């Protein structure tokens, strides 16, 4: 019986009070690196409080993109979790609903405001 396998899911959302700038598009720029670190902190903290928290092994912010409005910044992350036959399987709808509740109806992430229609969890 093999041990836990590492699986991945994507997490996407839009921050409405983080102005998108071209340096957010540039990997390894100072702005990209500092924003990536902040977002990873908030996402990791949020997921650790969810039902899959014990199985999440971390998230990596993979990029930022311009939102619908020029003041919006889309955030893309890939998260890893341990999957094992003896563990509950990843339920993206359950995770979405938990994250929605934990972000006040998909409106708050720390001191950031989230576009309430932007949260996407793909398992």
CATH number, domain of 12, equals 3.30.70.960
**What is the rounded distance in angstroms from the CA atom of residue 61 to the CA atom of residue 43?**
9
Are 103 and 109 within 8 A, CB to CB?
yes
Domain annotation covers residue 71: yes
What is the DSSP-derived secondary structure letter of residue 55?
G
Domain annotation covers residue 1: no
Residue range of the domain that includes 71: 6-122
Q: Into how many domains does the chain fold?
A: 1
Q: pTM for the whole thing?
A: 0.89
Domain annotation covers residue 18: yes
Note down pLDDT in tens along the chain; length 123 residues. 555 678 899 999 999 999 999 999 999 999 999 999 999 999 999 999 998 888 888 899 999 999 887 789 999 999 998 876 655 677 889 999 999 999 999 999 999 999 999 999 996
């Amino acid at each position: 019986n093999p041990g836990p396998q590492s699986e991945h899911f994507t997490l996407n959302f839009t921050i409405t009070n983080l102005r998108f700038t071209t340096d957010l598009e540039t990997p390894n720029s100072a702005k990209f690196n500092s924003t990536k670190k902040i977002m990873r902190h908030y996402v990791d903290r949020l997921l650790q409080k969810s039902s899959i928290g014990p199985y999440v092994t971390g998230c990596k912010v993979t990029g930022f993109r311009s939102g619908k409005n020029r003041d919006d910044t889309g955030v893309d992350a890939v998260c890893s979790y341990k999957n094992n036959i003896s563990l509950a399987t990843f339920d993206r709808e359950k995770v979405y609903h938990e994250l929605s509740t934990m972000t006040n109806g998909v409106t708050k992430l720390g001191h950031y405001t989230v576009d309430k229609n932007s949260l996407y969890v793909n398992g």
